[in-house]
Structure 1
Amino acid sequence: MIQSMTGFGKSLLQLPSKKITIEIKSLNSKSLDLNARIPGQYREKELLLRNIIAKSLVRGKVDFSLYVEVTGEETTSSINPIVVKKYMEQLRQIANIDDDELLKMAIRMPDTMKSEREEIEETEFIEIEKTLQQALTEINSFRTDEGNALEKDLMFRVSNIAQLLQDIIAMDPDRIEGVRERLRKGVADLQEKVDENRFEQELVYYIEKFDITEEKVRLENHLSYFLETINSPDSNGRKLGFISQEMGREINTIGSKSNYAPMQQLVVQMKDELEKIKEQLLNVL
């Protein structure tokens, strides 16, 4: 079973005086790249929240957001009247504007609002942890669903490569016979008498250079190992990426050794399928 690195999760927590919203979204990345947006009063718990997310999501470019909406009468922010008055006095010296307009301008200036630091109660943070776990469960479910779609496509591509390999195996005897006939025709065109034993020895040596038996066996093994890894309990995109690289080496070697146009056409199709596999693997956890 594989998982995608793409996902989204959201969970809400309603407290007596505030509503807390947690959102997590992720995209593909080589490692865990976690960006957190948290209000100042929760910064002391940021490291713990990061560790919880990292343990659950493992890899990906992750955006974690914690939003707080005050729903009760209490608020931790208040107007700083001394600063506002000071701004109004300064503005009055440079502009002939009535006090209502001065107040509108002054209130938008820096430091006109002051916030009292609010200590997080332990019971509140326990509820936040539960809410975070709910969001993580949702994003992991999303990742699993995306992974199922990826798995179907990857297995389809691997099946195509396996079929193309069987087509290559089926035409290999014709290829070898074609090489043999071309060599015989070349010698006959020289109109020279040759030693048949020597010719057969050279012919065997030449044909062995184009033998792809080892590559066929190794590619079949890589295809089987790829499917075995997909069906394992853990999602391991890196491992699948390594296997796909090995598949590419064998396909390239078959192409360079084939020396036969119909076979080279099949190799091109195999390379096309493999490129699609590699593109999909970039998003596998």
Structure 2
Amino acid sequence: MITSMTGFGKAVLELPEKKITIEIRSLNSKTLDLNTRFPSFYREKELEIRNIISEKIQRGKVDFSMMVELNPAARNQKVNADLIKSYIQEFKNITPTVTDGELLPVVMRLPDVISYTQDDLGEDEWNQIRATIITAIDALNEFRLDEGKVLEKYITSNLTNILDLLTQVVPFEIERITTIKERFAKRLEEVKVEIDQNRFEQELIFYLEKLDITEEKVRLKNHCEYFLKELEGNESNGKKLGFISQEIGREINTLGSKSNHSEMQKIVVQMKDELEKIKEQTLNIL
């Protein structure tokens, strides 16, 4: 089971005097990169909100937003009379002929002319908000699990393709050895020199041992199977899967350097293509 770092969660809290909407979005990141946006009225709870998120969301670039819509009937409105008079006087200094009645509609649209106050944040309200935040996080994590299932299916397909390609190497591996022997024998015939047949066989064996890919095939198969086993595990560990994919890459590169056969090299290129797709998706695993 794997979990994606990409997700979205939302929860809404309806109170008599306000409507609070919590939204959480996440993308892939090496660590928890948290960005929060909420009204200044709830600033005192910022540390607690961050602790809640960091406890339930291990990694990812996370955007948390809290939007509050106040019920107009519940707003405590205050008109700043002194500021209104000051605005009007400033305008009249510029255009003395304009009356106060003409200026008032314009002034009332200016900043801070009307302010809204709220009662202090109560414990009961905060408990409800806290529960709503957790609900949004749970929705985000559920989304991440669903995305993880898609990733798992995609990566499993890529790994299966690598294992299938590995079986296609075998015929060319045998053919390659025969070709090398024939090429060496032909070159020796061309130079027309007498050779020690036993020494020739020893040197040929030594050369072929350097090109032997048995260990690489075994390790590559084991790494792929280990990767598949981790995908089916109970925990999601994107970093560990990233390390395994690096080991897979090393074995594929060694196969390519030892191939000495055009068809085998083509297969190695296809393996690398499948591995790059795996690495790209692994970056998004929690």
TM (norm. structure 2) is 0.94
**AA of the residue aligned to 1:9:** G
Kindly state the Cα deviation for residue 21 of structure 1 after the two structures are TM-superposed. 0.7
Q: Does the CA contact (< 8 Å) of 2:155 and 2:281 recur in 1?
A: yes
Q: Does the CA contact (< 8 Å) of 2:75 and 2:117 recur in 1?
A: no
Q: Does the CA contact (< 8 Å) of 2:75 and 2:118 recur in 1?
A: no
Secondary structure class of the residue paired with 1:206: helix
Q: Deviations over 1:11-38 (max 9, x none)?
A: 1111111111111111111211111111
**AA of the residue aligned to 1:54:** S
1:82 corresponds in structure 2 to 82
Kindly state the Cα deviation for residue 180 of structure 1 after the two structures are TM-superposed. 1.7
The separation in 1 between residues aligned to 2:39 and 2:5, in whole angstroms, is: 26
Written as runs of structure 1 = structure 2, the 5 A alignment for 1:130-169 is 130-169=131-170
Written as runs of structure 1 = structure 2, the 5 A alignment for 1:11-22 is 11-22=11-22
The separation in 2 between residues aligned to 1:181 and 1:97, in whole angstroms, is: 106
Kindly state the Cα deviation for residue 98 of structure 1 after the two structures are TM-superposed. 4.5
1:98–1:243: structure 2 CA closer, same or farther, 3 Å change rule?
A: farther
2:61 corresponds in structure 1 to 61
Count, aligned residues: 285
Secondary structure class of the residue paired with 1:232: coil
**AA of the residue aligned to 2:155:** L
Q: More displaced, 70-79 or 253-262?
A: 70-79
Written as runs of structure 1 = structure 2, the 5 A alignment for 1:230-245 is 230-245=231-246
The separation in 2 between residues aligned to 1:163 and 1:194, in whole angstroms, is: 42
**AA of the residue aligned to 2:48:** L
Q: Does the CA contact (< 8 Å) of 2:22 and 2:133 recur in 1?
A: yes
Written as runs of structure 1 = structure 2, the 5 A alignment for 1:244-283 is 244-283=245-284
Q: Does the CA contact (< 8 Å) of 1:22 and 1:67 recur in 2?
A: yes
Secondary structure class of the residue paired with 1:25: strand
The separation in 2 between residues aligned to 1:106 and 1:243, in whole angstroms, is: 66
What is the RMSD of the two structures over their aligned residues, measured on CA atoms?
Answer: 1.6
Task: State the percentage of identical aligned residues.
Answer: 52
Residue 43 (structure 2) pairs with residue 43 (structure 1): yes
The separation in 1 between residues aligned to 2:244 and 2:125, in whole angstroms, is: 47
1:178 corresponds in structure 2 to 179
Kindly state the Cα deviation for residue 183 of structure 1 after the two structures are TM-superposed. 1.4
Kindly state the Cα deviation for residue 105 of structure 1 after the two structures are TM-superposed. 3.8
Query: What residue ranges of structure 1 are gaps of 5+ in the alignment?
Result: none
Q: Deviations over 1:217-258 (max 9, x none)?
A: 111111011011111111111111111111111101110111
Residue 132 (structure 2) pairs with residue 125 (structure 1): no
Q: Deviations over 1:43-84 (max 9, x none)?
A: 111111111111112111111111111125222453312112
The separation in 1 between residues aligned to 2:167 and 2:191, in whole angstroms, is: 37
1:261–1:145: structure 2 CA closer, same or farther, 3 Å change rule?
A: same
Written as runs of structure 1 = structure 2, the 5 A alignment for 1:187-226 is 187-226=188-227
1:148–1:173: structure 2 CA closer, same or farther, 3 Å change rule?
A: same
1:169–1:99: structure 2 CA closer, same or farther, 3 Å change rule?
A: farther
Q: More displaced, 255-264 or 71-80?
A: 71-80
TM (norm. structure 1) is 0.95
**AA of the residue aligned to 1:213:** T
1:33 corresponds in structure 2 to 33
Kindly state the Cα deviation for residue 185 of structure 1 after the two structures are TM-superposed. 1.4
The separation in 2 between residues aligned to 1:40 and 1:11, in whole angstroms, is: 20
Q: Does the CA contact (< 8 Å) of 1:22 and 1:64 recur in 2?
A: yes
